[in-house]
Amino acid sequence: MRTFSAVLSLTALLAAASALHAETATERGERQLARMLGDRVAGPPVDCFEYVSATKKIEIDGVALVYDTGDVVYVARPANAIDPRDTIMGGFRGRDICASQKFFTVSRQGGMRTGIADITEFVPYRRPS
């Protein structure tokens, strides 16, 4: 019986230790953003940038909204929490994407607006010369 109790205690201890080191969604997102940016260097924040047809929009849940134009990667970090079940839409002014324009959240399942994404700036990341 002692052996069973010891094994049970050890199992509970190992489960608790692994739970303490479980990676959060935000930590995963930060790691994904760091991989995406690589050796790029941050420039001064901008309000707008030109949207080109090759621009890829990438949402990193709980972390950032990223626009990759090829040469420059623009990163916006919403000031408010965004539900991971939602996607971010909006921000267009003509051919530009601007932080000063309205960004809103939309349910990925139903397509209904669910709130506002508070985007204040885009930080451009460029490869070093």
**Against a cut of 0.85, is the pTM above it?**
no
- Among residues 45, 101, 55, 96, the alpha carbon closest in space to that of 75 is found at 45
pLDDT digits (tens, 9 = 90+) for 18-29: 555 577 878 888
Query: Does position 7 have pLDDT exceeding 60, yes or no?
Result: no
Residue with tokens 């959240």: 105
The residues spanned by each domain of the chain are: 2-126
Query: Does position 87 have pLDDT exceeding 60, yes or no?
Result: yes
| Mean pLDDT score, 91-113 | 85
